[in-house]
Amino acid sequence: MIEVIYDGLQMRLIIGFGGNLGDPATAFAGALDALADEGWVLSTSQLWQTRAVGPAQPDFLNAAAVFHWPGDLSALLARCRELEFAAGRDRTTEERWGPRVLDLDLLLADGVVCRGPELEIPHPRFHKRRFALEPAAEVAPEWVHPLLGRSVSELADAARPAVDDGAVRVLEPEES
């Protein structure tokens, strides 16, 4: 059973994009285009390069986009999984936190709390992951995490190390 608390069927939400195999920037663009056919892209972040979490693997590219979605969250999650699979991701065979061509995460929806076996919004680890927070803070800094009562920008500030460790950085245009 999915518990969803929100008013109405249309909402704004932040989707996180990640990938470290093949050409993630192209995979991101394809997913954005496909999602834009079904909703509205309101803003997108720059590309961020981040050190991988988990097994040894190449650095990731990450980004975030704010969408206006006109339908059901379960349908959006299913669509994101379809796009991941079309880009070459097979969740049934991959290593947890391992390399992937495309990862689409529903990070935060404006004023929505959803807890279910397949979908949790806000994403349960969003507030702890700089690779998700930094791009999200770029596109929706004032959004408030409904369970923590802190803005995305405050959460990103809190997640930054006292000394820049270079683990998360904006990818310069000539590098992408």
81-130: pLDDT as tens digits: 999 999 988 888 877 878 899 999 999 998 889 888 888 999 999 999 99
Distance from C-alpha of 66 to C-alpha of 109, rounded to nearest angstrom: 9
Residue pointed to by tokens 């391992």:
98
150 is catalytic: no
7 pLDDT more than 60: no
Does pLDDT of 3 surpass 60? no
Query: What are the backbone angles phi and psi of residue 123, rounded to the nearest 5°?
Result: -55, 130
Q: Is 89 one of the annotated active-site residues of the chain?
A: yes
Among 37, 59, 91, 105, the active-site one is 105
- Which of 89, 90, 157, 165 is catalytic? The answer is 89
Of residues 12, 79, 103, 130, which has the active-site annotation? 103
Alpha carbon separation from 13 to 58, 61, 93, 129, 166 (Å, rounded): 28, 20, 29, 17, 28
Distance of CA 1 to the CA centre of its chain: 23
**CA-to-CA distance for 152 and 136, rounded, in angstroms?**
7
pLDDT at position 32? 95
Handedness of CA 96, 156, 112, 109 (dihedral sign): negative
Mean pLDDT of 139-160: 95
Nearest to 80 by CA among 22, 18, 135: 18
51 has catalytic annotation:
no
Is 103 in the active site? Answer: yes
Average the pLDDT over each of 4-8, 42-46, 89-93, 138-142 and give the range with the smallest value: 4-8
Q: pLDDT digits over 18-72, tens only?
A: 999 999 999 999 999 999 998 889 999 999 999 987 888 999 999 999 999 888 8
Question: Given this model, what pLDDT does residue 176 score?
Answer: 58
For residues 20 and 156, give the distance between their C-alpha atoms in angstroms, rounded to a whole number: 22
Catalytic pick among 12, 100, 129, 130: 100
| pLDDT value at 175 more than 70 | no
